Amino acid sequence: MNLFYQTYPLSFFILLFGFIIGIGISIVFFFSFSFTLVLFLVCIGCLRIMPMLNFLDIILTKMFPKQIKLFSKNIKTSFPVFYPKGFDHSKKNIYMFHPHGLLSLSHYLNIGTNLTNWKDRETNGTTLSILWWIPFGNELLESTNFVPSNYDDMKNVLLQNKSLSVTLGGVKEMALSQDNKMILNISKKMGIFKMALETGTQIVPILVYGENEIYKVTPNWLLKIINNYALKFNLFFPIPTFDSCYKWLRMFFEPLKIPVKTYIGSPIQVQKINEPTDMDIVKLRESYFMELRKLYKETRPKTYAKELFII
């Protein structure tokens, strides 16, 4: 995996912004032909971003070795992972991260990079399928072990005897982010539990304290209106505040003052059922909710609400 992209997780958004600016210049000076040509070349894979990132990797690691090493160390310190005693890393699991937060940063760092002490490297993460259609999205997401969040692609990961990770609350949970409180939009989820039963894969609950706090959405009235409308189409535009971005940039010099802690729960054993009924699925889901609440009770910081809210 490319070291530059591991070290600078937000590089994708910077490169995407540059790409959009470049397209704009093409339109102004070369009109629609240049725009169409560039877009076509990107779509068919003739224009790729990874070679450029590999080139930047070589340059930056030689120019700023100490800074990159310090940044990596600060990430590891800022995003610790805690496993229960006797956790078996050799087994195939479905890891469920909660809450989603604004950017689901802990999910990405643990699964898409080697910057944390996450121990199960044979894990594929999931992300919105629409992200695979934006310029270079497919190439970048595949390089960080992510797959589209559709049923067939996710199930295929498990059939390959690999682990799968999801942020179960999805896009709608992004709008529910609150400091020191977990509101999980998971009460009606069925598909992931059906998948677990069909493949006989054990489920592992994960709670991340600090995910909601690290990035906060910009309090803009127009953005709020846009997001309220976009949620109807399962979309949300997570534009963080300047203060949130500053927190991230400070990690080039020091770790976060309040670490974002990831707690892994005990696995829930799942018996394989080729054609599970709705009753089978609901029963497994309720068992999961019970284990999730237990994990919250055991790991909840004093500043957090006493109850875990599942809606």
Residues 6 or more apart in contact with residue 178 via CB below 8 angstroms: 212
pLDDT number for residue 5:
46
Q: Which two tokens stand for residue 91?
A: 């087994």
Average pLDDT over residues 278-300: 97
Choice among 16-25, 255-264, 270-279, 297-306 with the minimum mean pLDDT: 16-25
pLDDT for the residue 42: 59
pLDDT for residue 186 is more than 90 = yes
The reported pLDDT for the residue numbered 40 is 60
Q: pLDDT above 70 covers what percent of the chain?
A: 83
pLDDT digits (tens, 9 = 90+) for 202-223: 999 999 999 998 888 888 888 8
pLDDT digits (tens, 9 = 90+) for 31-58: 555 556 666 655 555 566 677 777 777 8
Q: How does residue 275 score in pLDDT terms, banded at 50, 70 and 90?
A: very high
Do 272 and 198 contact (CB within 8 A), yes or no?
Answer: yes
What lies within 8 Å, CB to CB, of 132 at 6+ separation is 138, 141, 148
> Domain map of the chain by residue range?
1-63, 65-310
Ramachandran quadrant class, 120 (left: phi over 0; alpha: psi -120 to 50; beta: rest): beta
Exposed, middle or buried: residue 82 (CB in 10 Å: 0-12, 13-18, 19+)?
A: exposed
Q: pTM higher than 0.85 for the full model? A: no
What pLDDT is attached to residue 161? 93
SS3 147: strand
Predicted pLDDT of residue 4: 44
Tokens of residue 72, six digits: 């990596």
Query: What pLDDT is stored for residue 8 in this prediction?
Result: 47
The owner of tokens 């397209």 is: 23
